[in-house]
Amino acid sequence: MPTTHEIAHALRSFAEVESVRLGHEAEVVDLAPDREAGPGHAAWIAPRATTPERLAAFAGSLLVADAPPEHLGSSVTLIATASPRLVFSRLVARFFPPDDGWPPFDGPMPPDAEIDPTARLARGVVLGAGVALGAGVTVGPNTCLAHCTLADGVSVGANTTIGGAGFGFTPDAEGRQVPFPHVGRVEVGTGASIGDNACVDRGTLGATRIGPGARIDNLVHIAHNAVIGADALVIAGAVVAGSARVGRGAWIAPNAIVRNGITIGDRATVGMGAVVTRDVAADATVLGNPARER
């Protein structure tokens, strides 16, 4: 286990860390909420919750907070930052990386699959045609992949489908719905993540694209030929319809629906349950049904 001083020295290099005060050197054995922390625990406190009383009551060994050191006991190592959640995330990723505990892949490997040796697939994963997985990719149990490229560091949860056919039909002269063939792919950029029970359809012609660092939450549907920009967030239950474009750093809140062909600008926010029927400008916030600018 790392010590409080080892963690503090490692975190000094991050730009978000403003200062470090070393307390007693102690082994950090676990992570805990600040109110439940005891000796050997590391914790963080959000700026809005940081009060002198709460700091004085902290009984852990290391705290990440936007806090003056005089309010903490001298034994506590303090990592002072205006972004404690972000810095604590970096601490966890470096010293206490989560272990999903999934059993390893045991299924057949298609002859055309291109799988980096460092990719990790869980038991029950199904690989179809045209799958390429980069270094450090992780794929959860019972997920189905086909006609897709997952770049380095992509993570995919359990029970997700990437690269299945989308929903596209054209009525013939007698009104029967004729399926439009989907022959495209899905391309997922470096470091993106896709959660559990999500669905990302392959393009009809061309590709459906998830940008580098984008975050697709559980139960999200990304339809054919949609484009999700770098570092965008599409959150639980949201639907992004065919050929829609979500800009870099945009935020699509839970249960929102983005109509086909719509463009959501960079850093825009779509509120919970909003139904977007018109383009949204960069940095705008829209709410409601139909969605209107706030």
Active-site positions read 224
Q: How far apart are CA 44 and CA 95, in angstroms?
A: 15
Q: How far apart are CA 211 and CA 229, in angstroms?
A: 5
Q: How many CB atoms lie within 10 A of CB 294?
A: 10
CB 222 within 8 A of CB 208: yes
Token representation of residue 96 = 């206490």
Q: How far apart are CA 243 and CA 227, in angstroms?
A: 7
CB 8 within 8 A of CB 25: no
Q: How far apart are CA 71 and CA 234, in angstroms?
A: 39
Percentage helix, strand, coil, to 5, in the chain? 10, 30, 55
Q: How many CB atoms lie within 10 A of CB 114?
A: 12
Which whole-number Å values give the CA distances from 282 to 222, 233, 257, 278, in the listed order? 21, 15, 18, 13
